[in-house]
Copies of this chain bind each other. A is one copy, B any other.
């Protein structure tokens, strides 16, 4: 099985971190093709950044579809472009926020999302409601910590994750915590060990769920809103993106 794992920002080191996290849990027979666009934002911290990552994401999904990908993962916790990706994919497409929320709703009775910036709080709440998990979401707590610091599980930033996880558990009643960035597997393990809370990394959840859906023989539904885009011309710089 071939899973296309697309980090939609243009920072290759993050792509590599996601790929490592995904490959660490993937089945031996799963090939993970990790990509990122050449064009677009170096990180995604607003809906504006999110919008600008989508053309590159869609180009990569089209390319990997042609190359035989069985599923696609959008490795950004805002789940940009998910519906558009589904329209151009035969196989399943998963966002990492979406996958982590699904997993958490199966494992516990209420989850908290740790997000990097306060401005992301309403975005995360909106995703939870859209997916149906408004009743499972107990809180979204901003870390106010740079992403890069989080990558070191022994940093002071990691201590902040632990502190917020305890607050989520004790004040908000969460028994699961979602790490709202990609590829923090080592941190997830440390936090879980110290708090007793189930800590979920979105890349891990998405890779395993993608394997599950493909393994079940499921495809993206084409009889409704995810039907392939109707063929039509695109103009100017985006001519090549036109659906055929």
- Which chain A residues have a beta carbon within 8 Å of chain B's beta carbons? 10, 25, 27, 37-43, 45-52, 54-56, 58, 81, 83-84, 86-88, 92, 94, 98, 102-103, 105-110, 118-123, 126, 129-136, 169, 173-176, 195-198, 200, 204-205, 207-209, 211-213, 215-227, 229-230, 232-238, 241-243
Contacts and interface: CB of A to CB of B under 8 A. Distances in A.
B216 A119 contact: no
A175 B226 contact: yes
B229 A84 contact: no
B102 A48 contact: no
Count identical subunits in the complex.
Answer: 6
A134 B132 CA distance: 8
Given A173-B122, A175-B224, A219 B107 contact: yes
A237 B198 CA distance: 36
A25 B216 contact: yes
B196 A84 contact: no
A191 to B, nearest CB: 12
A133 B134 CA distance: 10
A222 to B, nearest CB: 7
B106 A42 contact: no
A173 B224 CA distance: 7
